[in-house]
Amino acid sequence: MNIQTQFKADRRTDRETHLARAAKVLPGGASASGRRVFHDVIVKTQGAYLWNSGGKRFIDYLLDYGPIVIGHSDPRVNDAAAQTAATCDLNWVGAHPAEVELAEAIVRLVPSAEKVAFVTSGSDALLHAVHVARQYTGRRKILKFHGSFVGWQDALAKGANFDVQPNRVPGPQDANSGGISLSALEEVLVVDWNDFSAVRTAFDEAGSEIACIVCEPYVLSYGCVTPAPGFLSFLREISNKQGALLIFDEVKTGFRLHLGGFQSVEGVTPDLTALGKSMANGYTTAALAGRSDLMEMLGVEVSLDGTHYANPYALSAALETIRILENGGMQRLAMIGERLRNGLTRAARDSGVQAVVTGFGSAFMVNWLGKAPVTFRDAARADFARAEAFRTTLLRDGILMPPFVITDARLCLATTEDDVDETIAIAAGAFRSVA
């Protein structure tokens, strides 16, 4: 009997008992702060759905913050992982065949990828990227953008929307957690996204000290915020001119907005790219990809070691995920995403609320603003009270959205047109209720 079956079968165990047990042994009752918001217990996941311990079904648009792109518990992905796990699990010798095959696929699909290294998380990939940039340039400072979450390491956890305090709006100079090195924060320059002038000023004042620009090429950290026309090209040009590296955080955008990442959409190629989340449909793996000369520094001049790096069964899951996406999956994600965004736009307009729906591909966001945001400062002006009332109304009616006001939602390949239409109908009522 597995844990989920035991939980449902034991009539003495209810949700409150389980949550009380969790509170005694887990910090805040869960191993991630955002999970505490829901005060619920999920015992089953399948396709586009979750079920709680009371048997209630939810259409899932949180999708574990992005990794689930095919669908929960997809048998094709799980079988690929299980077959590898049954024959060759973690070992510390050379490159596994799946490691080589997956690297070849990424090199084929992602414009910036000449070589690839597999790690455990997006934060790992970005940590190594920053180390490479500093070693390559001999410089220390990093330029990033206000509101964008690009990893939890001290070198980057500054001024990001994902904060230790949920729904707090951090300033550009704020650390995102207690305990972060103050000296590390001093090496991070934070400017507004889409602000050409602010980037120029940063380089005018500290250009000889800036090792790299780190950015989401399409911002998902605080909704769905597109780069201004020419902004990514401008970042590429100024980094070239100033001798800094350009690093794209495509942990959320890669294998979700486009198989080649948003760099394929914009036609701008960074020096290094961090990938993860959707790459393996929930299995724990991520990657750093980029120019050969930079990647060859890993393991020679810059450390590249991790016990769970290049996990064979996670890499096999990634291969199957990419196979499904390449065989019509990505096109369907874009189609169903557009259907949902259009329906939510109509529902918001008909209700008379001040809200704008933005997004790309399978990602979407209801911005409680009069117009689409261009910067984090814009996004932070959202009507937090109405946004939270909207989210909780949807949750009551079986629609699971992210627990924070200004962040993106997304759908998966298992999401059906009926799911989308049901969501639009429920959202229409929720819009009216908070108007």
The answer to whether 134 and 187 have CB atoms below 8 angstroms apart is no
Is pLDDT of 225 > 70? yes
Structure token pair of residue 171: 């300033």
Sign of torsion over alpha carbons 5, 11, 15, 17: negative
Tell me the whole-structure pTM to 2 decimals: 0.95
Q: Taking residues 27-35, report their average pLDDT.
A: 84
Helix or strand run (H / E) with residue 332: helix 330-351
Domains of the chain: 75-323 (3.40.640.10)
Comparing 160-174, 240-254, 331-345, which segment has the lowest mean pLDDT? 160-174
Question: Pairing between strand 245-250 and 210-215?
Answer: parallel
SS3 190: strand
The answer to whether 67 and 281 have CB atoms below 8 angstroms apart is yes
What does each C-alpha distance from 266 to 170, 232, 234, 240, 273 come to in angstroms?
29, 8, 12, 18, 14
Buried b (16+ CB within 10 A) or exposed e, 4-18: eeebeeeeeeeeeeb
Q: Give the pLDDT score at 163.
A: 60
- DSSP 8-state assignment for residue 145: E
Q: Taking residues 310-331, report their average pLDDT.
A: 98
pLDDT in tens, 323-352: 999 999 999 999 999 999 999 999 999 999
Burial class of residue 98 in the structure, from the number of CB atoms within 10 Å of its CB (0-12 exposed, 13-18 middle, 19+ buried): buried
The answer to whether 156 and 144 have CB atoms below 8 angstroms apart is yes
Q: How many CA atoms lie within 13 A of 340 on its CB side?
A: 30
SS3 48: coil
**Chain-wide mean pLDDT for the chain?**
94
CA 236/CA 24 separation, integer angstroms: 50
What residue type is 368 in one-letter code?
Answer: W
Confidence at 9, pLDDT banded by 50, 70, 90: very low
Buried b (16+ CB within 10 A) or exposed e, 112-135: bbebbbbbbbbbbbbbbbbbbbbb
Confidence at 35, pLDDT banded by 50, 70, 90: confident
Buried b (16+ CB within 10 A) or exposed e, 245-259: bbbbbbbbbbbbbbb
Is pLDDT of 13 > 90? no
Residue 41 has φ and ψ, to the nearest 5°, of -130, 120
- DSSP 8-state assignment for residue 224: -
